[in-house]
Structure 1
Amino acid sequence: MDFDVSSDWHVAAPYDFLRRLRREQPVFHSAHLGAYVLTRHADVRAAYGDPVRFSSRGSLAISPSLTAATREKLGEHGSFLSSFVANVDPPDHTRLRRSVSRAFTPRAVAALEHRFRALNEDLLDRIASRGEADFVRDIGHEPSVKLTARFIGVPEADEAHVQAHVKDWFQLFLSPQPPDRQLELAGSFLAYLDYVDRLVAARAREPRADFTSLMTGLIGRELSHREVVELISTILLGGNDTVPNQLGNSVLRLLREGVWPVPQDRLGRAVEECMRIDGASLGSFRYATTDVSLHGVTIPAGALVLLSADSAAHDEAVFAEPERFDLDRPNADAHMVFGYGIHFCVGAALGRLQLRTALEVLGRRLPGLRLVPGPISYRRSIVGRGLTELPVKW
């Protein structure tokens, strides 16, 4: 068996496979991924913390599954993430992260809580009387999409436009697609970059109180125009995709476990245990800069390496009974959904705040929330876990 990302089990139920790898082949070469895979918590954490031997440079630049025609269409933008903060090493990483961190101070993040809470309340004001919904389509995404748009400075009229392009972005780079669909998605992606580029230019002319204006003000001093475009493009991905996916995964888990609504004093614990057991991020890729010998296997210099945060979060050596959902698990936050080390997600505090706030508001407003019986399906992806739909009633 291999990491077949075209199969449903890869995202939905990989844990028997990962458990066997941790025990028998902790360093596994995946022919399907064209990469070595680290599966044990200690090894994944050590690799995240070792940017000298496990380089981020170029690790997100382009999906190896893209056809030559798609690469040609993308041109220079095939490596559009080449200067994104998660895709570079020091000293560029240090400079980029310092700039981005200005917008994610504790005070700035806390100020967003009131806005996010109001967005959730407004959504529920509009749909609570319906008594049923698809959580993914109707509930999970809108507040996060709107908060991210306001934070970045995307006009409300453009939110749906941006969300559609972000969905295409994800499919093109992080999910296997047939050749014709790749070309279609590549066109959407180029249009997305053009939109962000025009947004940056507009804020350069007329700055406002938003992230784009803050970053645009650093062009020529700390950042390049391309770096700002890439930062904005990828933060929009997190707010339009990753956080809503984690919320959907978490609600499904909590309803299945009969932990709904979550008690107010357990919200933080619930968020961490849900991220551990059903993380929206499955891991990150790195390149070995030198031969690395680990558990009797030599990873050759230049090889692509997947750091499986998903497997690490289910490692029996770190988490007792890892397949059991436990609100009292003392080390649930030892998961690596947000990465680890110098590449620990700069927006992690905001992501946690959004998840806690959404679960609190949803639990209070929809205490009778329950699943509609039926099959559960996930998007097929290399590095992300997200539901395609989640029918619920209340």
Structure 2
Amino acid sequence: MIADFDVSSDWHVAAPYGFLRGLRHEQPVFHSPHLGAYVLTRHEDVRAAYGDAKRFSSAGSLTISRSLTQATRDRLGEHGSFLSSFVANVDPPDHTRLRRSVSRAFTPRAVAAMEERFRRLNEDVLDRVEPDGRADFVPGLGHIPSTKLTARFIGVPESDEEFVKSHVKDWFMLFLSPQPADRQLELADSFLEYLAYVDRLVAARAAAPQDDFTSLMTSLIGSELTHREVVELISTILLGGNDTVPNQLGNSVYRLLRENIWPVPADLTQNAVEECMRIDGASLGSFRYAITDIDLHGVTIPAGALCLLSTDSAAHDETVFDDPETFRIDRPNADAHMTLGYGIHFCVGAALARLQLRTALDVLGERLPGLRLAPGQPIAYRKSIVGRGLPALLVEWD
């Protein structure tokens, strides 16, 4: 009998790979009572499910954490269905319309134009902290440049950056991390305050447009988008810039320092980014709903059932990645992971995320070639249903 997932345990995020390997070999479609979902673990099945919107629906898959108490749901009210119209939470044709609108801001030229700005943001942080010789990488080095770049892109004033960062953290904890009942209510109040802030930002840009993403999306209200869709798009992109991308950078630096690969050779930085996303992905998977009964590997997933597409397991599938538990900076197919999604739900900001990770590793390697882990520190990942990130990582340099 294979054990179940347990998102309250340390191993679920830190070291799930023996468990996931057992599932791939013995129960590739696994019903988890703990998650209340059927889990797909093989690379080919996860990829096929991502590409099969007619059987695996995204509609409502991000809508609400199933761990919320009724009191928390009551407190959230209509916003308990927040993300109901976000691009990753809908099926075609709504998905097609939303993605087309958002993609206007992520053209290759627009993304490339952000590289120098992001490099300067990393340089600015290092100018301040380099003389100290040590730092907590997560808040002190990893999060600040991404937070600031995302704020400038969206149009968040610099004076509001800390407000957004703290409330995005609360949002993640509320919806994607198990919390006790009293704490849920506190986080729900923070989340509602955050939504009100984004709503005011959208209204301000509607009245006085500027050169930012919010103004671009606000200009489409009525013709292509609704007000709520714009609020949800902005809110979720802020989540990516304040949480997901910095988490991936922290995971990557921790991996590279453990492997004694620092600084990263310039000609291997891009592949290092892909291998880090494969072996230590900041995203563990995506949820879907079965539209019809689905027969797969002798298991019938009933219509309406929740499914987890485990990209974390898929990225360690030995039928695709040779010796998957070994980090190989020159792995030829490292980019075959699905940490950024796949198919129509491939992350619309993937090019920007990759640019940020590559640029950060380049600048850090140039400025801190002697970067190393501080000895004797405990390493513990944040507990989460679908995300991997370090709350702290102490580093030193000469």
Instruction: Give the TM-score range, shorter chain.
Output: over 0.9
Gapped regions of structure 1 (runs ≥ 5): none
The one-letter code sitting in structure 2 at the alignment partner of 1:66 is L
> In the alignment, does 2:389 pair up with 1:379?
no
Query: Could you tell me how far apart the structure 2 residues matched to 1:163 and 1:344 are?
Result: 25
**Residue 111 of structure 2 corresponds to which residue in structure 1?**
109
Specify which of 200, 210, 213 is matched with residue 212 of structure 2. Answer: 210
3-state SS of paired residue (2:300)? strand
Alignment of 1:72-91 (within 5 A): 72-91=74-93
Specify which of 71, 74, 77 is matched with residue 73 of structure 2. Answer: 71
Residue 327 of structure 1: CA displacement? 1.3
Query: Could you tell me how far apart the structure 2 residues matched to 1:153 and 1:349 are?
Result: 20
Query: Could you tell me how far apart the structure 1 residues matched to 2:330 and 2:26 are?
Result: 30
Residue 328 of structure 1: CA displacement? 1.6
Question: Could you tell me the TM-score, scaled by structure 2's length?
Answer: 0.99
Gapped regions of structure 2 (runs ≥ 5): none
> In the alignment, does 2:102 pair up with 1:100?
yes
Query: Could you tell me how far apart the structure 1 residues matched to 2:79 and 2:335 are?
Result: 36
Q: Quick one: percent identity of the two aligned structures?
A: 80
Specify which of 175, 178, 181 is matched with residue 176 of structure 1. Answer: 178
**Residue 19 of structure 1 corresponds to which residue in structure 2?**
21
Residue 313 of structure 1: CA displacement? 0.1
- Number of residues of Structure 1 aligned to a counterpart in Structure 2: 394
Query: Could you tell me how far apart the structure 2 residues matched to 1:251 and 1:277 are?
Result: 12
Residue 2 of structure 1: CA displacement? 1.0
Query: Could you tell me how far apart the structure 2 residues matched to 1:71 and 1:177 are?
Result: 14
Query: Could you tell me how far apart the structure 1 residues matched to 2:319 and 2:272 are?
Result: 22
The one-letter code sitting in structure 2 at the alignment partner of 1:117 is R
The one-letter code sitting in structure 1 at the alignment partner of 2:22 is R
Specify which of 143, 162, 167 is matched with residue 165 of structure 1. Answer: 167
> In the alignment, does 2:190 pair up with 1:188?
yes
Residue 44 of structure 1: CA displacement? 0.3
Query: Could you tell me how far apart the structure 2 residues matched to 1:342 and 1:158 are?
Result: 33
3-state SS of paired residue (1:141)? helix
Query: Could you tell me how far apart the structure 2 residues matched to 1:165 and 1:325 are?
Result: 34
The one-letter code sitting in structure 1 at the alignment partner of 2:234 is I
Question: 1:202-258 CA deviation, whole Å, 9 max, x = no partner?
Answer: 000000000000000000000000000000000000000000000000000000001
Residue 137 of structure 1: CA displacement? 1.5
Give the superposed CA RMSD: 0.4
3-state SS of paired residue (2:6)? coil
**Residue 295 of structure 1 corresponds to which residue in structure 2?**
297
Where has structure 1 moved over 2 Å in runs of 4 or more? Answer: none
**Residue 29 of structure 1 corresponds to which residue in structure 2?**
31
The one-letter code sitting in structure 1 at the alignment partner of 2:129 is I
Query: Could you tell me how far apart the structure 2 residues matched to 1:367 and 1:159 are?
Result: 30
Question: 1:46-93 CA deviation, whole Å, 9 max, x = no partner?
Answer: 000001100000000000000000000000000110000000000000
Specify which of 239, 258, 261 is matched with residue 263 of structure 2. Answer: 261
Query: Could you tell me how far apart the structure 1 residues matched to 2:189 and 2:378 are?
Result: 33
The one-letter code sitting in structure 2 at the alignment partner of 1:324 is T
Alignment of 1:340-351 (within 5 A): 340-351=342-353
3-state SS of paired residue (2:92)? coil
Query: Could you tell me how far apart the structure 1 residues matched to 2:118 and 2:369 are?
Result: 20
